[in-house]
Structure formats: structure tokens, C-alpha cells
Structure 1
Amino acid sequence: MAEEDDRGADIMAAADYALACSGTVTSELAVQGTPFLVGYRTGWITWTLARYFLFKPNHITLLNIAADDSDIAPEFIQTELKATALAAEAQAMLADDGRREAQISAQNKALSRMGERDEVAAEIAAKTILGVISDRRLEQSPA
């Protein structure tokens, strides 16, 4: 791991809570044992095409998908992504040690499902995405 990667990992590990965009950063935060929420917004055309023609996900965060679509990390997507909602969720999480510990525990379980904790987050993400695609293809193939 490069030196700048080590600093990023150290910062993530030292954080009490994080606000993240969807992507491999969520796996990196989980590996460091840091609870987080996810905010994500894309262009409305992209969202509409993805949502109605490609797939209809219950979640967009890899960790939530890997945990059988559980709500491990709160997600604020598209119109739900508002500063007041993010602030309220972060304040609630920071005020509740038990809730933070429960999220960390759930993150660890999801990481176990995704693969080895020593793997690079991008590798974990790629394996999980390929698994989800493979599972969906099997579900859609004629019997």
C-alpha cells in the first residue's frame, strides 16, 4: 500500500463516523471499523435509465447489497440526499454508542461475506459485484 493510502486508512480508522459517497470507500471504511452513511446523486437521466431499464436495486451500497440488502449503512439517494437529513442521521449516530457498535458489527459480518479482510477494497468490491451480476443472470435465465 502506498504511503498516501496508509494515511487515508489511518484517518478512516480514527474517525468516529463518516459521510461517504457510494463506491469502494464504503468497503474501506468498513475494513477500518468506521461506521458511515452514504449519500449519492446522479443525473436524472442516468438514474431513470438505471432504475427502470437495467436493474431495480434495493440498495446501492456494496456493503448493504452483500448483506442480503440489509440496512447496515443508511443510504440517502437522489431526492433523499439533503443536508438536513445527513446532519440529523450523523448526529443521531454520534449520540448513540450502541448504534455505532451495532453498525460496526454488521459491517464486519458483511465483510466476512464479501471475502478476506486483508484484501484491497477494490478487489472485494469487484468480487461482490461479479457475484451479484452472476446471481441475477441465473435468476433471469430460462429454466
Structure 2
Amino acid sequence: MPKKVICVWIGTFKSENELYQNYLNFDYENEDDPKSKFGKDAELEYYDEDFMESWWLEDISLNNLIEHKDNILDSEYFFEELIAELKHWNLTNKNSITFLFGEDGEHATNDMLFDYNGMKSKDKPIAFVFRKEYELK
């Protein structure tokens, strides 16, 4: 059975449009090397955006996230640990959370996330908060 991995970032953006249109969108003008600002800031050479979910919430509080738990893929495998980790973070002014999923095995996707150790740079609109490997039961 393939192993899975999830990585999570939280961020602060001026607007929902800034997050989705300007930050997460890939710049295909440079067709040889299309990148998103998210990919550059997260220090990911490449990722498949089809396995990403990003939420804009006016207020990223633990209660707000818990209310949305059932909307996220595979949440039963990592959500409690994610909430426990986020209790150590200052969520004031945070208004986005991004989930990127990976899998190894025959249908591998985003498998570089198994070796991902976070971001070196701290002065970005996003911060890496969590990585968890799991297997579906």
C-alpha cells in the first residue's frame, strides 16, 4: 500500500484574490519553468497543484479549522496532530492555510514531500507548520 504525506503552511494575505490569483497561480508565461510564488517561497522545485488545497478564512482560529475538518481529504489521519502543532503558533492575522498532499508507489505524486524539511527563509507571507506521513487503512 502506498505511503502518503501531507505538508501544511499558514499565511497572511491582503485579500482572497491575492492568495488565489497572485500567489498560488502558476506563471505559465515562462513555459520552460512555470512556477508559482507559493512554490518559490516554500522552496519546492516542482509540485502537482492538483493535489493542493488552500483555504482563505478571515480568521484562522483552531475552532474555525475544526469546524472545517470534514472538508479536507484524509483528515482522520493527521488533523488532531495538526491542531496540536498549531496550538504552538501565533495565529493572529493568519488568514490562509494550504495543504499539499503527496504519495509514493505506483501512482507517485509530490513524492519529494517525504524529504521536505520546511523553508529556510522566514520573511515570507507563508510559514511551514506541519508534515505527516501516513498510510490509508
* Structure of higher RCO (CA pairs closer than 8 Å, 6+ residues apart): 2
Give the TM-score of the pair, scaled to structure 1.
0.28
Task: Give the number of the structure whose residues are more often strand, by fraction.
Answer: 2
Task: Give the number of the structure whose residues are more often helix, by fraction.
Answer: 1
